Amino acid sequence: MRSIVLLAAVLLGAAESRAAQPDVWLITADKIYPAPHAVPIDRGAVLITDGSITAVDDADMRRRIWKGTKSAPQCRGVVVAGFQNSHVHFIEPRFRDAADLPADQLSRDVENMLTKWGFTTVFDVASDQQNTFALRKRIESGEVRGPRIRTVGLPIFPVDGIPSYINDLPADVLARMHQPKNPDEARADVRANLAAGADGTKLFMQTSPAKDTLRWLTPELVRAAAEETHAHGKPVFAHPTSLAGLGVAIDNGVDIIVHTTLGEPKAWDADVIRYMIGKHVAVIPTFELWYYELAKETVPAEVADKLVAATLDELRAFRAGGGEVLFGTDVGYMHAYDTTQEFVLMAKAGMSADDILASLTTTPAARWHDDKLGRVAPGYQGDLVVLAGDPADDVKNFANVRCVFQAGKLIYESGKSR
């Protein structure tokens, strides 16, 4: 009997010792970009311990060996911080019933839409909040592989202003969309949304529920929603649609404009840009979306190029004045997942590889007050993207993703079905 007790004690001690071993990854790299505009590190390495970066190119690091250390030679390449997509939607039919869909199926769908393009964090800027909360919960539990999710939940529309282009959403979801009639209702809608678990508010400034019909959010409604959101320490996004919508949004406290404006007779002039920057308003350009929308309307290619070129000029002028840019694609509404063209268009708008990297990493991290995201440095979350090529050589390489780590877990490998 005594020998059995001793054996049990030994086995228990061994199990506790194994459990106490840290989860350690050593990732070697051809090049590391610690942060945008920082000096890159050639032939370095990153050490991740229990989900956090503990060393970057430590001189001793590659000579030390830990029992249980994991390496990923298939992931060698150009290492950058995990990407953030600040404009996505979980509204495709494939994501409906996220609470009950098979985990493997849901993981594959999230991977195809987001993870394989390097996204370790996303901001959903309008969806059925109940469904998105369910998806977020399953990812956070580890049951489903995917990025961390922030969401605005249900957006706010003008009264009788549900836009025609989302009429294919389920009727019960459309019925729950907020359409406040007065400032008190706008405040109540914001409070309900945030209390349910939303991370911000989305306002549709101008909508078209039917052909030749326009609806507007009044300045009073915008101001009430923004003030209530800010009282809870959360950001306010606005879909401007037009230059007039842009002006009302900025006048009344919106933080992030989720599109440039397309087809306006007047571009963003110096006064508009100065005003936006003075209000610390960020812009998510979504350039590829414009080609996507114009193609649906069978607009001739030469006309589409001219219209989109004007939005590139808007962003170029905005950046020249010191404006902040967040990367976002409107994926989920837009069914094209590949991010390559968005990077090409951002470069055409005058953004360097470092500028684009900032829009993917440090700028959103600062906006969302994530002081542990956005950099490859000790103390930061183990969110890394390994690229097959250097974006400094070609910005298309931002879309050439080899591996993705989130909080120290390998959640994507190119060419491998997980």
Q: Give residue 66's pLDDT band: very low, low, confident or very high (50, 70, 90).
A: low
Q: What is the pLDDT of residue 338?
A: 98
Does 4 score more than 80 pLDDT? no
Q: Residue 62 in contact with residue 43, Cβ under 8 Å?
A: no
CA distance 349 to 322: 14
Q: What is the pLDDT of residue 415?
A: 80
- Return the residue matching tokens 């999710």: 149
- The answer to the question of residue 11 being in a domain is no
DSSP string, 171-220: HHHHHHSB--SSHHHHHHHHHHHHHHT--SEEEE-EEEEETTEEEE--HH
Do 154 and 244 belong to one domain? yes
- The answer to the question of residue 343 being in a domain is yes
Asked whether the CA dihedral 94, 99, 105, 106 is positive or negative, the reply is positive
Backbone angles phi, psi at 128, to 5 degrees: -75, 105
Q: What is the pLDDT of residue 157?
A: 94
Do 70 and 205 belong to one domain? no
- The answer to the question of residue 418 being in a domain is no
Count of domains forming the chain: 2
CA distance 390 to 139: 30
Does 223 score more than 80 pLDDT? yes
Q: What is the pLDDT of residue 65?
A: 57
Domain limits for position 353: 83-367
Do 90 and 188 belong to one domain? yes
Do 332 and 221 belong to one domain? yes
- The answer to the question of residue 8 being in a domain is no
Helix (H, G, I), strand (E, B) or coil at 237: strand
Q: Which of 3-7, 132-136, 305-309 has the lowest mean pLDDT?
A: 3-7
Does 69 score more than 90 pLDDT? no
- The answer to the question of residue 303 being in a domain is yes
- The answer to the question of residue 373 being in a domain is no
Q: What is the pLDDT of residue 167?
A: 82
384-401 residues labelled b (16+ CB within 10 A) or e (exposed) = bbbbebbbeeebebbbbb
Average pLDDT of the chain is: 91
Give tens-digit pLDDT for 16-60: 444 455 688 999 999 999 999 999 999 999 999 999 999 998 656
Give tens-digit pLDDT for 229-242: 999 999 999 999 99
Give tens-digit pLDDT for 149-200: 999 999 999 999 888 888 888 888 888 889 999 999 999 999 999 999 999 9
Do 45 and 121 belong to one domain? no
Is the pTM higher than 0.75?
A: yes
Do 383 and 248 belong to one domain? no
CATH number of 45's domain? 2.30.40.10
Rounded to an integer, the average pLDDT of 214-233 is 96
In sequence order, the 6+-apart residues with CB closer than 8 A to the CB of 398 are 83, 118, 339, 343, 353, 356, 357, 360, 387, 391
Question: How far is the CA of 350 from the CAs of 257, 283, 320, 325, 355, in angstroms?
Answer: 19, 15, 9, 12, 9
Q: What is the pLDDT of residue 61?
A: 64
Please, what's the largest Cα pairwise distance for the chain?
90
Do 301 and 184 belong to one domain? yes
- The answer to the question of residue 2 being in a domain is no
Q: Give residue 208's pLDDT band: very low, low, confident or very high (50, 70, 90).
A: confident
Do 113 and 240 belong to one domain? yes
Give tens-digit pLDDT for 254-294: 999 999 999 888 778 899 999 999 999 999 999 999 999 99
Q: Residue 137 in contact with residue 160, Cβ under 8 Å?
A: no
Give tens-digit pLDDT for 304-328: 999 999 999 999 999 999 999 999 9
Q: Give residue 63's pLDDT band: very low, low, confident or very high (50, 70, 90).
A: low
Do 261 and 407 belong to one domain? no
- The answer to the question of residue 267 being in a domain is yes
Do 63 and 108 belong to one domain? no
